[in-house]
Structure 1
Amino acid sequence: MNTVAEHIADFLKKYPPFDNLTFEELSEIATNIRVVNLEKYKILFQIDDKLHDCFYVVASGVIHLSVIADAEETLLNKCHEGDIFGLRPFFAKNNYMMTAKAREESIIYAIPIATFRPFVANNPNVLDFLLESFATNTNNPNDKNIRGKLLSDNVVYSDQQSSDMQYFQSLTYNRIPLTTTADAIVMDVAKTMAENLSNSIIICNNNNIPIGIVTHTDMSTKIATGRYPITTTIDKIMSNPVVTVVENISLAEAQLVMLKNNVTHLIATIDGTNQSEVKGIISEHDLIVSQANNPGVLIKQIKRTQSAEDLKQLRNRLTDIIQNSIHKNIPLFHVYNIASEINLALIKRSIELAILDLGSPPARFSWLCIGSQGRKEQLLLTDQDSILVFEDVVPDKYREVKDYFLKLAKRSTANLEKIGYSLCPNGHMGSNTLWCKSLIDWTNQYNSWMNTPGKNSNDLSSIFFDYEMAFGESKIEEAIETVIYKNAKNNTLFFDFLGNDALRNNAPLSFFKKFIVEEEGPNKDKFDIKSRALLPLIDSARLFALSYGIKGVNNTYSRFKQLAIADPRNAEIYINCAEAFLTLSKFRTIEGLKNEDNGQYINLNELNKIDKERLKNALTPMRELEELIKDKFQLTQFS
């Protein structure tokens, strides 16, 4: 092996997923790798370019991955030494949907997919890592059409919008397949298959090691057509060698292996090779059945549900999806998107059921989720927050119309409570007469909050600026947005108030970089990750997004990403905050799932040393963010 290839193999061995491969395997890959030198700002590929025959690893330098969304360039990710990017040719057929550009002089290794693919099929850790990297670098709002392309033509695939999960779903398949030996007579085998209602049988040697497979198709194309007599031995018509996989394969891996080998069945064996014992058989039908837990299917079921009790069962399945995603290490941003769509469908159906009870609304209206669901950040079962805005009606109809909507909101929130979303302790719900009113009343409310924040701040909660429409008339939501952004323009007093609000929470770390924990009460010695870490980031992202007039982006992570474009001088701070937000959210979600609560308090004693460091590192960008707020908003009056 030449010294260049040896040097590349040594380099790759240090980084995942290559650390799962032997040095011999890496050496074989390295001899086929091309070395690409990129000058500063040189583009390697851009949106709509034809796919390359390779994927890439950064050997040195920095590569920026960006997309164009809503006429804005959004930075998705920075790839540093050892990072993988450009995985689209592995998983999709359509052109590139992002741009890869060198941020500084860089050296890139181009790894041919044809060379690398054989090492993926038998190594689920490698494939899991590639799938995760692909998902992480695909946070493109326009990039929904690639999901679902992995299925072969005769596998039905559901709803595209929430199909991220199919990459990571576990697979249910037949663990006790039919087996026979090579000398069995075809007629006897056909009888056995018919009696067991099976469309396949595995041919094994005496040690139960697979040597071939016969499917219903083999029977019809080779026996029914008369090419072979029914008295022949089964080995004459079997397909071999068989395609084998490991037992714990995911849905996506199975799809990839089936597509790659152009087969309809896979045989699961103890070690994933055809030299070990048979443990099961996977058919294309199993792929369809395994998609029952697909978010798209779940949303369809929600839409057909007739009671809050049935909705509760479906909400429990969302918890399973979230747990499975966290366990599979799916990027949290994707999990948020999936959970948000399902939560939204549950809220919408709860309102529809209430309307079916009460009869048609007397006026058009909009139900806005506020708070965490308004930001698409609700993974754990937290309390419900909402407002109801109905269109302006003539004065003598006002009381009657408002009464209807209060009843509607009460029934809807009661349905949501049955599903498991507790009522908001602060009463921030459309069922509260304060938060159920006409568009003109809401306009006056926002005018008052934003133009005289000191006077009217008692009932001002900043969550009223995070909203997402769950049901109703989008023009009403747009009218609310117009009022907010009109009032925000050059409104120093309002930003002074919000800026101080964002800084009101106590610091998460002491001067000596120790976690500041609760001193008394039931959560003594625990770390309040919600108040000390997440809320300051949420509040700051909202504050800056409003001040830069960034509309239609309510999610904290996305707000920081957009801010990096709006304010390039401070882009690094915003990107660090975006990553910190995801890390902290994951800590909270894991804690909440473990204790079946809202995950607010972290028991630091249960964290290992690495996790404690990760948690601490995620808190470091907050100091710079605090300085940025003080500098930009010149806080005075409410300090």
Structure 2
Amino acid sequence: MIMDSEILPQAGAIAEVAARIADAPDIAALAACAAEARQVAIALQHESAGSALVTRVLSRLNDAVATRVLVLLALRFRLPPARWCWLGLGSEGRLEQTLATDQDNGLVFSASDDGEARQLRELFLPFARAANQALAECGFSLCDGEVMAGNPRWCLSQSEWLENFAAWVRTPEPEALLNAAIFFDFRPLAGDAGLSAELRRALSELTRGNEIFLRMMTVNALAASPPLGRLRDFVTEAEAGGTIDLKKFGSRIFVDAARILALGTGIAETATAPRLRRVALEGEMTPADAEAAVHAFHALQDIRLAGQTGGGLAGQAPANHVDPERLNEFDRRILLEALRQARKLQQKLKTRFHLET
């Protein structure tokens, strides 16, 4: 007889944690559940489940924690009778959370005009701030950049969100491009998902085929290049103890490229691997190149997770840093090839948007 655990590692533990999250009576109980979810992710990583599964399971369990937080808090606050939706942003929006993550979220609500939007925002903000604090108690640290629903800048009516989106696309200055990289990976977590779907459709209309905006996004993305050397395999950061930041100079390259190509073709997907596969179907790259990029992205995520879970692949201090010299020969070769794929993907972007090579 085939057991569930033979098909999906930690299947029983995942189901048990999910059930406890759904029944959690208060924030303290949810904090304990969130800690259990992280332990499940660590166990999956130690069982070599692969980063695609580990990050997706962890992200879904984190989703459940956030949703339960919002349900519990909605009972304590007198929320207005307006449509609203809590948005997950960044890695949460992409279902790619690792163990080193903070909060990136926003809130969208419906309002008939600017005056009603101001009134509703004042009613939603105490709820949103309480949710941000509760999530922090559950282990999701507050965002240093204050990209959170409790910030009035990111607790907006649907019209206000659309005004921001349009401004960022039409005037792609550095701050606008940074905002686009964070906010355009949004995904609904709780409330009326229809609001999120309407935002996504409107955003697609703004970005599909918008060569000027996409070119500027590409220029911004190319600022982070793979740390590959000419005389030696890797270029490391001396100030970081001879390590490589695999988030900034590794996985981010694939995330950025997938986002740019997806926005350009109107693809609604937010996760990196599905985006790459979808853009291949749209003819933006060959299926073989897309699969190579997907495998390289997952390999980098595997190495990041191994460091975060104490897998012994690296002896780095910061959670996303790895010392190539501490990798075994096999993992070092994988890292090298994954970064070469990152360089190839960036070359694809340069060619696509007619940038100097």
Same fold (TM over 0.5): yes
Question: Partner residue of 1:143?
Answer: none
> What SS does the aligned partner of 2:233 have?
coil
Counterparts of residues 467-616 of structure 1 (less than 5 Å): 467-520=186-239, 523-551=240-268, 553-567=269-283, 570-594=286-310, 599-616=319-336
Distance in 1 (alpha carbons) for counterparts of 2:265 and 2:118: 39
Asked if 1:413 is matched to 2:132, the reply is yes
Distance in 2 (alpha carbons) for counterparts of 1:309 and 1:354: 13
| Alignment gaps of 5+ in structure 1 | 1-90, 92-149, 152-162, 170-250, 252-290
* Residue type at the aligned position of 1:609: E
Task: Answer with 441-450 or 297-306: which moved more.
Answer: 297-306
Alpha carbons 1:381, 1:420 under 8 Å: kept = no
Structure 1 position 445, deviation (Å): 0.7
Identity of aligned residues (%): 25
Alpha carbons 2:90, 2:183 under 8 Å: kept = yes
The structure whose RCO (Cα within 8 Å, separation 6+) is larger is: 2
Structure 1 position 443, deviation (Å): 0.8
* Residue type at the aligned position of 1:168: P
Question: Partner residue of 2:337?
Answer: 617
Question: Partner residue of 1:282?
Answer: none
Question: Partner residue of 1:375?
Answer: 94
Distance in 2 (alpha carbons) for counterparts of 1:453 and 1:596: 36
| Distance 1:621-1:166 versus aligned 2 partners, 3 A rule | closer
Q: Which has the higher helix share?
A: 2
Counterparts of residues 239-388 of structure 1 (less than 5 Å): 291=12, 293=13, 295-388=14-107
* Residue type at the aligned position of 2:264: S
Structure 1 position 567, deviation (Å): 2.0
Counterparts of residues 227-242 of structure 1 (less than 5 Å): none
Alpha-carbon RMSD across the aligned residues, in angstroms, is 2.4
Question: Partner residue of 1:441?
Answer: 160
| Distance 1:331-1:592 versus aligned 2 partners, 3 A rule | closer
Structure 1 position 304, deviation (Å): 1.4
Question: Partner residue of 1:168?
Answer: 9
Alpha carbons 2:261, 2:284 under 8 Å: kept = no
Distance in 1 (alpha carbons) for counterparts of 2:317 and 2:20: 26
Distance in 1 (alpha carbons) for counterparts of 2:233 and 2:279: 30
Distance in 2 (alpha carbons) for counterparts of 1:442 and 1:597: 38
Structure 1 position 529, deviation (Å): 0.8
Task: Answer with 535-544 or 303-312: which moved more.
Answer: 303-312
* Residue type at the aligned position of 1:167: L
Alpha carbons 2:41, 2:58 under 8 Å: kept = yes
Distance in 1 (alpha carbons) for counterparts of 2:175 and 2:333: 42
Alpha carbons 2:316, 2:322 under 8 Å: kept = no
* Residue type at the aligned position of 1:446: F
Counterparts of residues 139-150 of structure 1 (less than 5 Å): 150=2
Distance in 2 (alpha carbons) for counterparts of 1:605 and 1:459: 33
Q: How many residues align?
A: 353
* Residue type at the aligned position of 1:311: L
* Residue type at the aligned position of 1:625: L
* Residue type at the aligned position of 1:441: E
Distance in 2 (alpha carbons) for counterparts of 1:536 and 1:452: 23
- List per-residue Cα deviations over 1:25-53 (Å, max 9, x = no partner): xxxxxxxxxxxxxxxxxxxxxxxxxxxxx
Alpha carbons 2:225, 2:253 under 8 Å: kept = no
Question: Partner residue of 1:182?
Answer: none
Distance in 1 (alpha carbons) for counterparts of 2:114 and 2:33: 42
* Residue type at the aligned position of 1:371: G
* Residue type at the aligned position of 1:534: S
> What SS does the aligned partner of 2:76 have?
helix
* Residue type at the aligned position of 2:350: K
- 1:432 aligned to which of 151, 158, 163: 151
| Alignment gaps of 5+ in structure 2 | none
Distance in 2 (alpha carbons) for counterparts of 1:380 and 1:455: 29
* Residue type at the aligned position of 1:319: R
Alpha carbons 1:370, 1:466 under 8 Å: kept = yes
Q: Which has the higher strand share?
A: 1
| TM-score, length of structure 1 as denominator length | 0.52
- List per-residue Cα deviations over 1:288-317 (Å, max 9, x = no partner): xxx3x2x23322211211222211111121
Structure 1 position 519, deviation (Å): 2.1
Alpha carbons 2:316, 2:323 under 8 Å: kept = no
- List per-residue Cα deviations over 1:247-278 (Å, max 9, x = no partner): xxxx9xxxxxxxxxxxxxxxxxxxxxxxxxxx
* Residue type at the aligned position of 1:529: L
Alpha carbons 1:355, 1:361 under 8 Å: kept = no
> What SS does the aligned partner of 2:64 have?
helix
> What SS does the aligned partner of 1:417 have?
helix
Alpha carbons 1:583, 1:615 under 8 Å: kept = yes
| Distance 1:496-1:338 versus aligned 2 partners, 3 A rule | same
Distance in 2 (alpha carbons) for counterparts of 1:458 and 1:550: 19
- List per-residue Cα deviations over 1:101-156 (Å, max 9, x = no partner): xxxxxxxxxxxxxxxxxxxxxxxxxxxxxxxxxxxxxxxxxxxxxxxxx56xxxxx
Alpha carbons 2:50, 2:302 under 8 Å: kept = no
> What SS does the aligned partner of 1:306 have?
coil
Alpha carbons 1:590, 1:599 under 8 Å: kept = no
> What SS does the aligned partner of 2:122 have?
helix
| TM-score, length of structure 2 as denominator length | 0.92
Task: Answer with 388-397 or 405-414: which moved more.
Answer: 388-397
Structure 1 position 617, deviation (Å): 1.4
Structure 1 position 461, deviation (Å): 4.0
Distance in 1 (alpha carbons) for counterparts of 2:115 and 2:207: 33
Structure 1 position 426, deviation (Å): 1.0
> What SS does the aligned partner of 2:86 have?
strand
> What SS does the aligned partner of 2:234 have?
coil
